[in-house]
Structure 1
Amino acid sequence: MSGMEIASYLMAVVYVVSFIILSTLLAEEAGRPVWLFGKGREKQTLPALLFRLAFAGAVLWPLWLAAFGNPVKDDPLAAALDGPWFDVLGHLLVVIGAGVALLSQRAMGSSWRIGAAEGEQGAIVDSGPFALSRNPVFVGQALLFIGLFIVLPSLVQAALTLALLIAIRLQVAIEERVLAASLGEPYLVYKSRVRRWLGVSGGTAGEAA
């Protein structure tokens, strides 16, 4: 692995460790558990599994590459995205993504949850990064994984990135239903004002964005 590849991998590991530590601290701040994948009426088994697969792979797959090499012979993605400029672009996305995700997670404070369950959600956070995106943590995670794929291109890393993106899309749909049911009109007003991924909207309450 090159120096840039190692730096990107270490940033991804730092993010995963920081995510776990910060989740623990925010759970103490909230005075309640924040892991909600196994709670509520919504089935979250698939997105939870895909999240775990993606993050475990982000930590373990580069170690496998360094130790044993790519098991996919003549991997077309490895050849197509090889080069120092790809490494620079990918590393930049990894750093930005990790920073956005962690800052957004911290901005949620005692409202931070992992998963969604009726009656378990915290108050709406609509300031800071949440004034520009309803899901800035997921946006940051997506950027991190896309960057890691660009730096370490392979069919396996592409599959891990796809797993994360699918998990995000499934989980966002679940969380929107739970938040609407739990928080009602204030959430619908927020939803009409701020877009799902990035930007503000001039829509009316109840509109999807």
Structure 2
Amino acid sequence: MSLLKELGLEEYVFQIMALAVLAIFYGAYLVKMAAQAMRGIRTNQVANRRGETHAVEMVMSIATVAVIIVQLASIALDWNWNAESFRIAGFVIGLVGCVFFIAAELGLGDSWRAGVPKEDDTQFVEDGIYGWSRNPAFLGFDLQYIGVCLMFLNALTIAFSIFAIVMLHLQILHEENYLSQRFGRAYLDYQGRVMRYFGRR
């Protein structure tokens, strides 16, 4: 805080904190995509399949881009209705979301994909963070949305964060259907042991 005060940026502390959360989160996503692209792996496979999955993934994609725009606008305008203590809690929640997301990326290795893959031969992973959450990357998204929403609480961040979280949940349902078909009994047993968002049975 003293450095920010010396630089005359003390009044922008929450903007800087929120931008740091977004930079870590989306930076990790872009680095993973670039690393996989160098190995000839197409990470982004959103809306790669026809039918209901295609529709859900298209709307989810729109929701996740729209929420970034709303987050950045709220940060730029410092549009916030929340008390400082809630804003600090939001920063911590956002950082926890980054941790879950990065752990999910690392845990899946080259099997990481955005969207339901059409033909890729991915591996079934059930250890590491996946031993505690069937969907740690989606949990990371949700925590990041909640965290930034608490830091810049206003009507738009609330509405778009809820919209994105609902669409990510629908995406989870489609991915779980795909995984149960792709990996059969192994995935069904895994569903019986590990909870959708966090915890073991």
Show the counterpart of 2:182.
182
Post-superposition offset of 1:118: 5.0
Show the counterpart of 1:146.
146
The farther-off stretch of 165-174 and 49-58 is 49-58
> Could you tell me which amino acid in structure 2 is paired with residue 158 of structure 1?
I
Q: Judge conservation of contact 2:18–2:75 (CA < 8 Å) in 1.
A: no
The farther-off stretch of 41-50 and 146-155 is 41-50
Show the counterpart of 1:10.
20
Show the counterpart of 2:7.
none
Number of positions where the alignment pairs a residue of Structure 1 with one of Structure 2: 190
Post-superposition offset of 1:16: 1.3
> Could you tell me which amino acid in structure 1 is paired with residue 115 of structure 2?
G
Q: Judge conservation of contact 2:46–2:61 (CA < 8 Å) in 1.
A: no
Q: Judge conservation of contact 1:133–1:199 (CA < 8 Å) in 2.
A: yes
Provide Cα deviations, 1:41-77, integer angstroms capped at 9, x if missing partner.
452333343344334532x33443455575xxxxxxx
Show the counterpart of 1:61.
70
Change (3 A) 1:9 1:135: same
Q: What TM-score does the superposition give when structure 1 sets the normalisation length?
A: 0.80
Show the counterpart of 1:93.
93
Change (3 A) 1:148 1:170: same
Whole-angstrom CA distance in 1 between matches of 2:162 and 2:121? 27
Change (3 A) 1:84 1:124: same
The farther-off stretch of 111-120 and 146-155 is 111-120
> Could you tell me which amino acid in structure 1 is paired with residue 70 of structure 2?
W
Change (3 A) 1:121 1:197: farther
Give the gaps of 5 or more residues in structure 1: 71-77, 202-209
Change (3 A) 1:122 1:28: farther
Give the gaps of 5 or more residues in structure 2: 1-10
> Could you tell me which amino acid in structure 2 is paired with residue 35 of structure 1?
N
Whole-angstrom CA distance in 2 between matches of 1:63 and 1:39? 28
Whole-angstrom CA distance in 1 between matches of 2:116 and 2:110? 14
Change (3 A) 1:27 1:125: farther
Q: Judge conservation of contact 2:15–2:78 (CA < 8 Å) in 1.
A: no
* Structure showing the higher helix proportion among its residues: 2
Q: What TM-score does the superposition give when structure 2 sets the normalisation length?
A: 0.83
> Could you tell me which amino acid in structure 1 is paired with residue 134 of structure 2?
R
The farther-off stretch of 16-25 and 134-143 is 16-25
The farther-off stretch of 31-40 and 135-144 is 31-40
Whole-angstrom CA distance in 2 between matches of 1:143 and 1:56? 17
The SS at the match of 1:2 is: helix
The farther-off stretch of 134-143 and 61-70 is 61-70
Whole-angstrom CA distance in 2 between matches of 1:177 and 1:118? 14
Whole-angstrom CA distance in 2 between matches of 1:182 and 1:41? 17
